[in-house]
Amino acid sequence: MKKRVLSAMLAASMAVSVLAGCATGTAPAAQGEAASGSSGGEAFKIGGIGPTTGAAAIYGSDVRDAMQIAVDEINADGGINGYQIEYKFEDDEHNAEKAVNAYNTLKDWGMQMLIGTVTSAPCIAVSEKTKEDNMFQLTPSGTAVNCVQYDNAFRLCFSDPNQGSASADYIAGNDSLKGSKIAIIYDSSIEYSTGIHDSFVARASELSLDVVSDTSFTTDSNTDFTVQLQSSKDAGADLLFLPIYYQEASLILQQADSMGYAPVFFGVDGMDGILGVENFDTSLAEGVYLLTPFSATAQDELTVNFVKKFKEMTGHIPNQFGADAYDAVYAVKAVCEAQNVAPSQSVSDICEAMKKGMTEIELGNVLTSPTSITWTAEGEPNKDPRAVIIKNSEYVLAE
Amino acid sequence: MLNFLTYFVNGISLGSIYAIIALGYTMVYGIAKMLNFAHGDVIMIGSYIIYTSMVTWGLDPLLSIVIAAAGCTVLGIVTEKVAYKPLRGAASSLAVLITAIGVSYLLQNLALLIFTANPKSFSSVVSWDGISLAGGELKIQGVTIITIITSLIVLLALQTFIKKTKQGQAMVAVSEDKGAAALMGINVNKTISLTFAIGSGLAAIAGALLCSAYPNLTPYTGAMPGIKAFVAAVLGGIGSIPGAMIGGLLLGIIESLSKRYISTQLSDAIVFSILIIVLLVRPTGLLGKKVQEKV
């Protein structure tokens, strides 16, 4: 009797889990269809991949929603070359294997172009597949160098090394910063930080910037920065370049303050978020520069409009990833129009046209650059970074 | 010279934190003969309790530390009863060691669940700025001085407790021979529980000082200082209470000076090679007791 009860319970629980599987399986598809807009006849099928669950979910969900906004705008405006866009986004949980599965799912759906993936490691895995299929791929936010190693792949964001050289260029071109003695503190145990550090140092020596101190730490010893700060202070540095994430940066600001050392702090996109550390004394961050492609507080019409729509849709302010994705959709639109691409062409023909077109266009009026964006054949964007300065606990565009 | 002194003082302030953590390690090892690798994570839990009572409830810093010490003591007794006691005697010491690592991960993941991975900025429990020497060139922070004084007080209190009280003498007896101690009418389990209670209470104080000096609190805050403090305890002679103090200070000074004069990238490698060298050359550490093997 006991056994029978147990097996009945097992059967019931299995049935429930099958149903649950159905529910989670069909929900995104239903969303995708609802999102795809009216497809009377032919339409472009654009896919997106990124983490919408798991630890990196904040990045993927912002990309998904920002792309939706761009697609809706374009469809309402008559589409691309008169064709509507059908759009579908798949979750990869920031996992390379799941990203490849998501890619296959989208291919079965009939995807013609891929905007993705959002994070670097899955992006590298998927780029192997798009290379095989000769499918056009534009990643909004994969920063690792290898994300665009093949000629069918492009990126919208800066690569890691690019941020370093762009920072050096900005410092050299800014009247109040260019004569500074520079100290660097970086994390030698992560690729992101060392990549930016190496290119910054290389570019700085080309521009003959005065780097007086160069010290590091590792993720395992990221609490005590007094020695690094003291070395910078002893070397007479009045600008401290921090190509690191904001958690460590917040500690560096506190420790510098308690030793009475007040240089100009200069960070990159990893610094974005420092004002969000709980219980952090934000007055310490006053005057901190950070180089980031997007500022949600910028006052130009495009940004204001985008932030407003995004907030209505999701309830929060978009991060840089969302802005990258929004620009990526418009980049695809611009190239399709320039090359007269039609959805009836094969995936491979579309890819060839897009590859050619990407290197020829100049994309103006974008969120993630104050001027315009052009692309090299290697897939790297050329754009000007925006420098943001923290004033009264808010990010403000620097002059 | 002044330059050297600054780095030396930085080393002392780092070392005093290692010392106070190492005191907890060495106390538990000396008496219960087990390495409690979860000690660093008890420190982290203690810091979260202080953060919650100070920032969220707005309580007085000292009262918060008392609450945290009570919380950690309960946590220490409970983990000892649930995770370590059933393994004592029957299983090998390796099983207890691995269980301690398991408890460490359990505490980290519980903290991740409750407090999330977002870093919290800790408000210092020490409001004193410290002293300036040599015309403001050499600054010694208040939290450093308080940490050293606290470590010394804890050191003296522990020594007195162990040498002068009945409970302390029972601890010494248990550490020398559990079987004989039981025959003499000492309650071994109760004595070991008391050891854990004291060790965990110390963890709360260490947490308050650690997070005042380095005010960034995440679920992984305790892990690395815990392991470095373990190296300090081995360097000083694990099981020896004054040894933990000396080992901690030495380790902090070595770390700070090697960062400055050798390489920032190599400093952790240097710290951990000290562990290997001590184990090879003088396994009992600086102040450890030599145990004669009887054949």
Just give the CATH number of B2-281: 1.10.3470
Question: Smallest Cα–Cα separation from A234: which of A181, A178, A286?
Answer: A181
Model pLDDT for residues A218-250, shown as the tens digit of each residue: 877 888 898 899 999 999 999 999 998 888 898
- Strands across the sheet containing A394-397: A210-217, A181-187, A239-242, A264-267, A289-292, A386-391, A394-397
Q: How confident is the model at residue A16 (pLDDT cuts 50, 70, 90)?
A: very low
Which chain A positions have a beta carbon within 8 Å of B265's beta carbon? 188, 216, 218
| pTM (predicted TM-score) | 0.73
- Per-window interface: A 280-319 vs B, CB < 8 A: 280-281
Model pLDDT for residues B171-216, shown as the tens digit of each residue: 989 888 888 999 999 999 899 999 999 999 999 999 999 998 888 8
For residue A247, give the nearest of B119, B122, B260 by CB distance.
B119
- Architecture label for domain A42-157+302-383: 3-Layer(aba) Sandwich (3.40)
Mean pLDDT (whole number) for B16-25: 90
Model pLDDT for residues A27-69, shown as the tens digit of each residue: 343 343 434 444 445 899 999 999 887 667 778 889 999 999 9
Q: How confident is the model at residue A7 (pLDDT cuts 50, 70, 90)?
A: low
Fold of A161-292: Rossmann fold (3.40.50)
Structure confidence at residue B67 (pLDDT): 96
Mean pLDDT (whole number) for B262-281: 87
What residue spans define the domains of chain A?
42-157+302-383, 161-292
At A227 the three-state DSSP class reads: helix
What residue spans define the domains of chain B?
2-281
Query: CB–CB of B282/B243 below 8 Å?
Result: no
- B220 has pLDDT over 90: no
For residue A221, give the nearest of B3, B216, B268 by CB distance.
B268
| A95 or A138, greater pLDDT | A138
Which chain A positions have a beta carbon within 8 Å of B118's beta carbon? 276-278
Model pLDDT for residues A326-356, shown as the tens digit of each residue: 999 999 999 999 999 999 999 999 999 999 9
Structure confidence at residue B266 (pLDDT): 85
Structure confidence at residue B48 (pLDDT): 95
Token digits for A147?
A: 């994300």
Structure confidence at residue A131 (pLDDT): 94
For residue A228, give the nearest of B55, B215, B264 by CB distance.
B264
Are A42-157+302-383 and A161-292 equal in CATH topology? yes
Question: Smallest Cα–Cα separation from B214: which of B49, B7, B5, B18?
Answer: B18
Classify residue B166 by burial, with Cβ atoms within 10 Å: 0-12, 13-18, 19+.
exposed
**Buried b / exposed e along A336-360 (16+ C-beta atoms within 10 A):** beebebbbeeebeebbbbbbebbee
Question: Smallest Cα–Cα separation from B174: which of B155, B144, B195?
Answer: B195
For residue A227, give the nearest of B119, B141, B256 by CB distance.
B256
Model pLDDT for residues A111-136, shown as the tens digit of each residue: 999 998 998 889 999 999 999 999 99
- Write the Ramachandran bin of A78: left for phi over 0, alpha for psi from -120 to 50, otherwise beta: left
Structure confidence at residue A387 (pLDDT): 85
Which residue in B122, B216, B254 has the most chain A C-beta atoms within 10 A of its own C-beta, making it the best mutation to test that interface?
B216
Structure confidence at residue B66 (pLDDT): 95
Question: Smallest Cα–Cα separation from A137: which of A91, A98, A106?
Answer: A106
Model pLDDT for residues B98-129, shown as the tens digit of each residue: 899 999 999 988 988 888 777 788 888 888 87
- Per-window interface: A 367-386 vs B, CB < 8 A: none
Structure confidence at residue B292 (pLDDT): 56
Give the Å distances, CA to CA, from B39 to A246, A383, B95, B239.
27, 50, 17, 15
- B289 has pLDDT over 90: no
Which chain B positions have a beta carbon within 8 Å of A231's beta carbon? 260
Among the residue ranges A11-25, A174-188, A343-357, A362-376, the one predicted with the least confidence is: A11-25
Count how many Cα atoms sit within 13 Å of the Cα of residue A217 in the half-sphere of its side chain: 23
